Amino acid sequence: MALKIGQTIREQGVLVAEAGTGTGKTFAYLVPALLSGGKVLISTGTKTLQDQLFRRDLPTVRAALKLPLRIALLKGRANYVCHYHLARNAGDGRFATPQDAANLRKIARFAEISRTGDKADCQDVPEDSGAWISATSTRDNCLGQDCPNVKECFVLQARREAMEADVVVVNHHLFFADVMLRDEGMGELLPACNTLVFDEAHQLPETASLFFGESVSTAQVIDLARDTRTEALTGAPDCRVLIEATRTLEKAARDWRLAVSAEGARISLEQLAQHPGFMPAVDTVGKALAELGEVLKTQAERSEGLANCLRRLDELVERLDRWQHPAEAKVVRWVEVFTQSLAVHSTPLEIGNVFARQIQRYPSAWIFTSATLAVGTDFSHYCRDLGLNWLEPPAHTAVWGSPFDYPEQAVLYAPTGMPDPNAPEYPDVVADVAFPLIRAAQGRTFVLCTSLRAMRRIHERLAGELERAGLKLPLLLQGEGSRSQLLARFRELGNAVLVASQSFWEGVDVPGDALSVVVIDKLPFAPPDDPVLAARIEHLRQAGVNPFMTYQLPRAVINVKQGAGRLIRTEQDRGVLAVCDPRMIDKPYGKRVWRSLPPMRRTRVPEEVEAFLATLPPPRGTTAAVLPSEDAADDVTLTD
């Protein structure tokens, strides 16, 4: 893999590379990239991997190669303390909770001693604390060169270091935000790069769709109203009409959210007919923005903060107008509803042509790598999504399998007698399949669900089963804490069961004996009523393409591979992957799913699975015997 990447760098080509878990793909791209002598940009899917690369992997490879290279870490501005907003909000004294006020004081002390201002280094304040909103800036409220604290700005310092470094580590969200907005300095970084590496590249199509589209949220409108009011109190305290206009806008935004009764929903333009108050509420917000804008124009020259609020208002008005009257035909307009807010989105149906233009614009080596990019050895869906099949010369593709001994280390179990996945009793049957495996493994299980409703029902049923059996195993549920907290507890306990949904399907690493069973309830097809998916399906149909085989199935396969990838993380790991969905066996397309999974030993016999689990060492700190199973045997074996 390293040799192929080295060749691609020399030829300034494009390579799409799938490398199974344990291949060492991080070193495979770092070694040739660092030896190439040019500027290298590495983009990752998560901030966790970003920090790991910068703090562990890059220094290790740099030291091994004895190269005097400068490395830099660049994150989005929301990750850096902003001196201006920290001082302004600390002086304001209005906080949602006393804990937020205490956390803001801790952040202020951190800002005084920190060299980087990176909130990941502030160990005393949780990353999800509400205080961070008061201590950081956004693209909207940053004052830029007009800021009184511009000389000590942590964001500008990080950008300067990135410009001077030989290797820069970013994440996908920052990369696309900067490609589109030229906001965080990437517009200057990209032309200087000789090599761009995208790790966890399977996330790129989704991330690109997000950033190549546009959105307006009630939260943005409310933030604008509040920021304008705060700036008015200091910069134009005598203009009462300005303050009243901000209150009118804030109320209009809250009424806009209340115009939709749903929660946690994605609603198409057609479905908005069921919410007759929605479009009038949009008009009311537009009118309130216009009225605030008229007053703000008369006061904007009184402070940099007010001038910045006027710029933000003009941008919001333009985006909202484009959502109501789109110029582009190939976009889908939809609404996303949260508990406290909502957002309207315009999402492009195709992003391949836009992304391909970016590649052609910056003639460098472009490397895309992940453990899950192909269906079998077929990359056509991925290359089509990102426009890589339009390039001249075309992108090269390659697959390197995992070095693990999957037939010895793991079992793929497809239980028999499963009902239709849409049947009301399906979650209960999944729990009934999972319970004997949990009992045999003495905990140490992930149950990965495709919906929150199924997750809660399976958790409830498993809790009852464990109580009836007298098994005192810790049963964790997604949402009981942050992802990092739940993972830390799971690893620490050593015999826990975690029932979780989408956020635990990828980017989760539990090597060793703490995880021995992964249960997947259904093949993770996106819900067909999702407005973006429905529009893409119709778009593909009109183009004469089979949307299921070319779009929906490949995405589901990649998601299954991600979930399966949680199980075997090292050469010593052993365990069972149970895929409960009968469609993997019964449907013709099912073979494409399980042939894409690692070559585990396959079975449909529960006794074989429990016998395998009985050979595992007991959980840390326990000597409990494995309880016998009472399930009936089935002698049908799943073979290729």
In the prediction, which pLDDT does 187 show? Answer: 57
In the prediction, which pLDDT does 93 show? Answer: 67
Q: Is the pLDDT of residue 388 over 60?
A: yes
Share of the chain above pLDDT 70, in %: 95
Q: What's the mean pLDDT in 501-516?
A: 88
Mean pLDDT of the chain: 90
**What are 569-602's pLDDT values in tens digits?**
999 999 999 999 999 999 999 999 999 999 999 9
Q: What's the mean pLDDT in 49-55?
A: 90
In the prediction, which pLDDT does 432 show? Answer: 97
Instruction: Name every residue whose Cβ is closer than 8 Å to that of residue 57 and which is 6 or more positions away in sequence.
Output: 26, 27, 30
In the prediction, which pLDDT does 409 show? Answer: 96
Task: Read off the pLDDT band of 181 (50, 70, 90).
Answer: low
**What are 324-373's pLDDT values in tens digits?**
998 877 899 999 999 899 999 999 998 898 889 888 888 899 999 999 99
- Spatial contact of 23 and 400, defined as CB atoms under 8 Å apart: yes
Task: Read off the pLDDT band of 640 (50, 70, 90).
Answer: very low
Equal CATH topology for 2-76+155-212+351-400 and 214-348: no
In the prediction, which pLDDT does 623 show? Answer: 39
Question: Amino acid identity, residue 154?
Answer: F
Domain 2-76+155-212+351-400, CATH: 3.40.50.300
Please give the biggest Cα pair distance in the chain: 83
Q: Which of 572, 569, 636, 630 is nearest to 602 (CA)?
A: 636
State the Cα–Cα distance between residues 81 and 562, nearest whole angstrom. Answer: 34
Task: Read off the pLDDT band of 183 (50, 70, 90).
Answer: very low
Q: Quick one: tokens of 522? A: 């259904």
Task: Read off the pLDDT band of 496 (50, 70, 90).
Answer: very high
In the prediction, which pLDDT does 509 show? Answer: 85
Average the pLDDT over each of 59-63, 194-198, 206-210, 394-398 and give the range with the smallest value.
206-210
- Spatial contact of 255 and 271, defined as CB atoms under 8 Å apart: no
In the prediction, which pLDDT does 546 show? Answer: 94
Average the pLDDT over each of 16-25, 173-182, 350-359, 610-619 and give the range with the smallest value.
173-182
Q: In what order do the strands lie in the sheet with 517-520?
A: 475-477, 497-500, 445-448, 517-520, 575-579, 410-413, 601-603
Q: Is the pLDDT of residue 311 over 70?
A: yes
Average the pLDDT over each of 173-187, 368-382, 597-611 and give the range with the smallest value.
173-187
Q: Is the pLDDT of residue 262 over 90?
A: no
Task: Read off the pLDDT band of 192 (50, 70, 90).
Answer: confident
Q: What's the mean pLDDT in 194-217?
A: 92
More confident residue, 12 or 176: 12
In the prediction, which pLDDT does 508 show? Answer: 84
Q: Where are the domains of the chain?
A: 2-76+155-212+351-400, 81-135, 214-348, 406-614
DSSP three-state, residue 167: strand
- Spatial contact of 385 and 394, defined as CB atoms under 8 Å apart: no
The Cβ of residue 538 has, within 10 Å, a number of other Cβ atoms equal to 13
In the prediction, which pLDDT does 144 show? Answer: 83
CATH of 214-348, picked from 2.40.50, 1.10.275, 3.40.50, 2.60.40, is 1.10.275
Task: Read off the pLDDT band of 502 (50, 70, 90).
Answer: confident
**What are 21-47's pLDDT values in tens digits?**
888 999 999 999 999 999 999 999 988
In the prediction, which pLDDT does 632 show? Answer: 33
Q: Is the pLDDT of residue 517 over 50?
A: yes
In the prediction, which pLDDT does 123 show? Answer: 85
**What are 392-451's pLDDT values in tens digits?**
888 999 999 999 999 999 999 999 999 999 999 999 999 999 999 999 999 999 999 999
Domain 406-614, CATH: 3.40.50.300
Task: Read off the pLDDT band of 621 (50, 70, 90).
Answer: low
Q: 89-115 b/e with 16+ CB inside 10 Å = b?
A: bbeeeebeeeebeebbebbbebbeebe
Task: Read off the pLDDT band of 636 (50, 70, 90).
Answer: very low
Question: Amino acid identity, residue 465?
Answer: E
In the prediction, which pLDDT does 22 show? Answer: 86
Q: At what angle do helices 278-299 and 218-235 cross, to 10 degrees?
A: 20
Phi, psi of 239 (to 5 degrees): -95, 85
**What are 150-173's pLDDT values in tens digits?**
999 999 999 899 999 999 999 998
Query: Which DSSP helix (H) or strand (E) runs through 520?
Result: strand 517-520
